[in-house]
Amino acid sequence: MKLLLPYLKLYRRHSFRLTLGVVLAIAALLASIGLLTLSGWFLAAASLAGFAGLYSFNYMLPAAGVRGAAITRTAARYFERLVSHDATFRVLQHLRVTIFAYLLPLTPGRLSRFQQGDLLNRLVADVDTLDHLYLRVISPMVGAFCVVLVVMVGLSWLDVQLAMTLGIILLATLIALPPLFYRLGYAGGAALTRQRSEYRSLLMRWLQGMAELRIYGAEPDYRHKLNGLEQQWQTAQQRQAGLSAWSQGALILISGLTVTLMLWLSAAGVGDLIKPGALIALFVFCSLAAFEALAPVATAFQHLGQVIASAGRVTEITTQRPAVSFDGDRQQAVSEVSLALEQVSFSYENSSFPALQDISLRLHAGEKLALIGRTGSGKSSLLQLLTRAWDPQQGEITLNGCPLASWQESALRRMTTVVSQRVHLFSATLRENLLLAASEASDQQLVAALQQVGLEKLQDNQEGLNAWLGEGGRQLSGGERRRLGIARALLHDGALWLLDEPTEGLDAHTEQQILSLLRQVTRDKSVIMVTHRLQGIEHMDRIGVMDGGRLVELGSHQELIAKRGRYSDFQQRYAL
């Protein structure tokens, strides 16, 4: 239960709407009980009065009460749904924003251990399940308790003994059933939450790897595994549904026995009346209607197992400490950037070998540096350290003579322009994907950036910049996505450019155009470019060769050619 306390605290922000929803729910239940109770008494009393009652029995007042209770029930139920759903969606929004705020600092250092499907399930499905805490547990329990007290007090005006008898039975049911079915359903609820996550994660991996699974003939085995997990999930759902049926059956049994008891007791007299007449119907129908308030309570705590399991899964993420914290005090971005790395070493978590070892390097303001080397030599890892995706375990990185950790994240992001190896495009318009890099850029600036990278055709249609790119920009080729990443870089235009394979996937002609463009726009910028293609590399001020996480060679193109070392070998093997 302690796992739920942090999420209950989040409800304080919406306490007015949540409380109003509970009050309206209580009003709707009381109106419903009043309607059935008054209707039952009215019909019984009218039948006893017969024709003689046309002049002696007051038909108008009970009829008005029935109409009033019906209208009140309808209005209260409508506004209760309206307010409760509004409050619920606000709580859900607050939960998602809060949890997403926890996730952002964990990227990528702490989240890399989670699979994408599992992480998505925690952020969406588990957060949705937390919403049940109010709708299926708190609101029904509070509403039922208040209704039982009101019914007991109201009936005590007619007969204290009968009122206390009914009230004790209702309270005993309210206290006994939820914990009982909570214990019976906790393990099943936790299993449902776990199996739901496993199934969705496996389904996502199956969909993402469909092409490879079909090519290599592994699809039937994977589908068999998916079907087996789905069957386990359905079996767990059936057990929970069966448990819900048992709880409802128990409540119906208690309700029937209680109504029978109230009929027997009230027949012996109500208050001072030895012949209670129509009051028997009043107590019987009131007893029957009172159990309507307890209907959702029987299964309320059964969902608590899923809620607690989901809370545990979400808390597992939110309680992690970020691998990198931005608590520096330097917030003024600069127009010229110099970098220095002093004996920097870094290893990924649970990795058996270091990604970087004793890297010492200086980049002067306006200098252009190219890093080459075989795959896995540490080039991209070095760029990750410069953007503070991770911090080195040893050594120090300084920017303009100040430790990199002393800069606030906003200042570091403004100064740094990054073209990553994997350019992500969101399921949005062309304009929205470009505005990520410069939120205040005009349409003219966006079009100019597209023209510079040779993508003017993307907006040369009726939709223009409103063209929808789709999930991940599926309608674009790899080269077009790469050039869109470069267009973003042109719009952001920081003082330090970090380029990771900027011409990957481009043909030779386009590659020359892009390299020429980059040389032009970064004339006065500091640049570090990671590449395994040697086209145009001779224009860089210095070239570094990396191998096994070490910087094994560093110098200008002419110096390294004359040295006849690793760089010279690269030139002989890969130069075009």
For the chain, give every domain's residue range.
2-318, 339-574
Cα–Cα distance between 301 and 175 in angstroms, integer? 11
Digit-coded pLDDT (tens) for 95-137:
888 888 888 888 777 777 777 777 777 877 888 888 777 877 8
- Kindly state the average pLDDT of the residues 66-87: 91
How is the chain split among helix, strand and coil, in percent rounded to 5? Answer: 65, 10, 25
Confidence band, pLDDT 50/70/90 cuts, at residue 345: very high
Q: Which has the closest alpha carbon to 292: 255, 247, 250? A: 255
Crossing angle for the helix pair 304-318 and 160-208, to the nearest 10 degrees: 50
Rounded-to-integer distance, Cα 137 and Cα 297, Å: 7
Q: Across residues 392-406, what is the average pLDDT? A: 91
**The pLDDT of residue 343 is above 90:** yes
Residue in this structure with the two tokens 């869109």, named with its chain if needed: 484
CA distances from 570 to 273, 359, 540, 542, 544 (A): 108, 21, 16, 15, 12
- Rounded to whole angstroms, the Cα distance separating 541 from 526 reads 11
Mean pLDDT of the chain: 85
Tens-digit pLDDT profile for residues 238-257:
888 888 888 889 989 999 99
Burial class (CB in 10 A: 0-12, 13-18, 19+), 351: exposed
Percent of the chain at pLDDT above 70? Answer: 98
pTM of the predicted model, to two decimals? Answer: 0.74
Q: Give the CA distances from residue 133 to residues 43, 76, 221, in Å, rounded to whole numbers and listed in that order.
A: 40, 22, 39
Residue 2 has pLDDT above 80, yes or no: no
Going 255 to 256 to 257 to 259, the CA torsion angle's sign is positive
265-294 CB burial, b ≥16 within 10 A, e <16: bbeebbeeeeebebbbbbbbbbbbbbbebb
What is the DSSP code (8-state) at residue 320?
S
In this predicted structure, the answer to whether residue 178 has a pLDDT above a threshold of 60 is yes
pLDDT score, position 149: 92
21's tokens = 């929803």
What's the pLDDT score for residue 373?
86
Task: Say which residue, 441 or 111, is predicted with more confidence.
Answer: 441
**24's tokens:** 């309206």
**Of the candidates 482, 416, 415, 491, which has an alpha carbon nearest to the alpha carbon of residue 447?**
491
The pLDDT of residue 356: 92
User: Tens digit of pLDDT for each residue in 9-66?
Assistant: 777 888 888 899 999 999 999 999 999 988 888 888 888 777 666 666 677 888 888 8
- pLDDT at position 367: 93
The tens digit of pLDDT for each residue in 306-316 reads 888 888 888 88
pLDDT of amino acid 346 = 92
| Of the listed ranges 131-145, 267-281, 382-396, the one predicted with least confidence | 267-281
Same-fold call for 2-318 versus 339-574: no
CATH of 339-574, one of 1.20.1250.20, 3.40.50.300, 3.40.50.1010, 3.30.1490.20: 3.40.50.300
Which whole-number Å values give the CA distances from 452 to 140, 486, 487, 496, 513, in the listed order? 61, 9, 8, 20, 9
DSSP reduced 3-state for 210: helix
The pLDDT > 90 percentage for the chain reads 25
Task: Give the model's pLDDT for residue 430.
Answer: 86
Q: List the one residue out of 358, 325, 356, 359 whose CA is nearest residue 339.
A: 359
Average pLDDT over residues 174-186: 84
| Mean pLDDT for the stretch of residues 253-274 | 85
Q: Where are the beta strands (DSSP E) in 442-549?
A: 496-500, 526-530, 542-547
- Structure tokens belonging to residue 548: 């096994």
Cα–Cα distance, 291 to 14 (Å, whole number): 29
Greater pLDDT, 2 or 237: 237
58 vs 338: which has the higher pLDDT: 338
CB 372 within 8 A of CB 574: no
Residue 182 has pLDDT above 60, yes or no: yes
Helix/strand/coil for 13: helix
In angstroms, the CA 331 to CA 390 distance is 20
Q: How do residues 515-534 score in pLDDT, each as one tens digit?
A: 899 999 998 999 999 988 78
* Residue 576 pLDDT grade (very low, low, confident, very high; cuts 50, 70, 90): very low
364 — pLDDT class (breaks 50, 70, 90): very high
| Residue 293 DSSP SS3 | coil
2-318 has which CATH code? 1.20.1560.10
pLDDT for the residue 51: 67
pLDDT digits over 457-499, tens only? 877 777 788 888 877 777 788 888 888 999 999 999 889 999 9
Neighbours of 180 (CB within 10 A): 15
Please give the Cα distance from 414 to 412 (Å, whole number). 6
Burial of 126 (0-12, 13-18, 19+ CB in 10 A): buried
| Joined tokens for residue 46 | 């009218």
What integer pLDDT is reported at residue 273 of this predicted model? 66
CA–CA gap between residue 305 and residue 192 (Å, rounded): 9
Residues 6+ apart with CB under 8 A from 230: 199
The DSSP line for 226-284 is HHHHHHHHHHHHHHHHHHHHHHHHHHHHHHHHHHHHHHHHHHT-BTTBSS-TTHHHHHH
